[in-house]
């Protein structure tokens, strides 16, 4: 992948920026905070009341209490900021709690884009996802619409589309740890999902898991690189790995072998349709749909940032056994 010729931008790169981070208390957010601090930047975090203990290196951050529905808090976190990172995303909805794809992945980021324009904060980095599209699942569609809104704005933007992100969860939710608990350590056989009625190529769909350290590095390096402005960067690990191989790698890291059995995606999806609203059920029908689509990159956005992504192997997964 090569940089496209950029237009003229108002943003000037600095090495000691104040960065408003929306979504800094979760798995990826903690790494973003750490990498910003290590690079000499000052994170300004929007933190919901009661979540202060989830902030990495809180003594080195400015914390503003509030959420994405609180316009006063948003204005406070943007005050004096040189750049904004929007990093909120969810994997499933809980409409009764107001946790929806439309609110958190479309409407809230768009409101914050508008607030950034009003505050004169030019630089905006958006965490999206590989595979987003206008006619996809609600997850994919809302992220795509947020991307489109940003691209039509006057902001100096960069959009990141990572594949599935893994790494030491540090007490947060993370892809591989969830697979370990829900599938590898389960007494049931591991499901090798397949389309249709016959188990042809069960578990052969491919993903390109990307290490969280590499994703955080990409955000920070992009902040410091004007050539990344106006770019949509897909972030994938160096290899496309089948679902079956991913499960085998996790099991091997634990010193185990795992019995695996073909599972019809259609049947699992039908069950998930009934149980989507229960947090204890490990997967939603939309997640099954997106898994079966695969999640790999054609052009990897790490190359122009001079980042060499870590391979997905047992050495990279040693955090599972520590």
User: pLDDT, tens digit, for every residue of 242-277?
Assistant: 999 999 999 999 999 999 999 998 877 777 665 566
Question: How many CB atoms sit inside 10 A of residue 49's CB?
Answer: 8
The answer to whether the beta carbons of residues 243 and 204 sit under 8 Å apart is yes
Per-residue pLDDT band at 1 (split at 50, 70, 90):
low
Average pLDDT, the chain: 92
Q: Is residue 52 packed enough to be buried (19+ CB in 10 Å), middle (13-18) or exposed (0-12)?
A: middle
User: pLDDT, tens digit, for every residue of 39-60?
Assistant: 999 999 999 999 999 998 999 9
Q: Are residues 258 and 233 in the same domain?
A: no
- pLDDT score of 24 more than 50: yes
**Residue 40 domain boundaries:** 18-169+209-238+296-305
Say if 48 falls within a structural domain. Answer: yes
Question: Phi-psi region for residue 8, left (φ > 0), alpha (ψ -120 to 50) or beta?
Answer: beta
Q: Are residues 24 and 122 in the same domain?
A: yes
pLDDT at position 26 is 95
Q: Domain total for the chain?
A: 2
Say if 220 falls within a structural domain. Answer: yes
The answer to whether the beta carbons of residues 21 and 44 sit under 8 Å apart is yes
pLDDT at position 190 is 94
User: pLDDT, tens digit, for every residue of 56-79?
Assistant: 899 999 999 999 999 999 999 999
Contacts 24+ apart (CB under 8 A), 59-64: 61/24, 61/33, 61/37, 62/18
Q: What is the mean pLDDT of residues 209-219?
A: 98
Q: Are residues 301 and 152 in the same domain?
A: yes
Cα distance between the two ends of the chain: 37
Q: Are residues 54 and 112 in the same domain?
A: yes
Q: Are residues 96 and 71 in the same domain?
A: yes
CATH number at residue 56: 3.40.50.720
pLDDT at position 8 is 47
């Amino acid at each position: 992948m090569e940089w496209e010729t950029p237009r003229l931008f108002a943003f000037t790169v600095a090495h000691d920026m104040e960065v408003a981070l929306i979504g800094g208390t979760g798995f990826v957010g903690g790494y973003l905070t750490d990498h910003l601090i290590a690079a000499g930047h000052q994170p300004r975090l929007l933190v919901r009341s009661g979540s202060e203990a989830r902030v990495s290196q809180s003594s080195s951050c400015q914390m503003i209490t509030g959420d994405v529905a609180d316009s006063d808090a948003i204005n406070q976190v943007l005050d004096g900021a040189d750049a904004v990172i929007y990093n909120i995303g969810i994997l499933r909805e809980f409409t009764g709690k107001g946790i929806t794809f439309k609110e958190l992945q479309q409407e809230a980021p768009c409101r914050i884009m508008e607030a950034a324009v009003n505050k004169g904060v030019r630089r905006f980095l958006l965490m999206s996802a590989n595979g987003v599209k206008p006619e996809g699942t609600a997850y994919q569609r809302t992220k795509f619409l947020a991307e489109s809104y940003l691209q039509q704005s006057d902001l100096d933007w960069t959009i990141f589309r990572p594949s599935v992100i893994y790494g030491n969860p540090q007490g947060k939710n993370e892809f591989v740890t969830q697979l370990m608990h829900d599938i590898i350590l389960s007494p049931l056989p591991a499901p090798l999902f397949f389309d249709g009625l016959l188990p042809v190529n069960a578990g052969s769909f491919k993903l390109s898991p990307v290490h969280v350290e590499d994703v955080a590095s990409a955000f920070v390096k992009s902040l410091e690189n004007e050539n990344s402005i106006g770019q949509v960067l897909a972030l994938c690990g160096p290899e496309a790995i089948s679902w079956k191989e991913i499960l085998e790698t996790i099991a091997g890291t634990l010193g185990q072998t795992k019995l695996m059995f073909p599972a019809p995606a259609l049947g699992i999806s039908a069950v998930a349709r009934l149980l989507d609203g229960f947090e204890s059920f490990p997967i939603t029908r939309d997640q099954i749909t997106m898994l079966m689509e695969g999640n790999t990159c054609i052009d990897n956005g790490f190359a122009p940032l001079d980042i060499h992504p870590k391979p997905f192997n047992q050495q990279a997964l040693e955090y599972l056994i520590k």
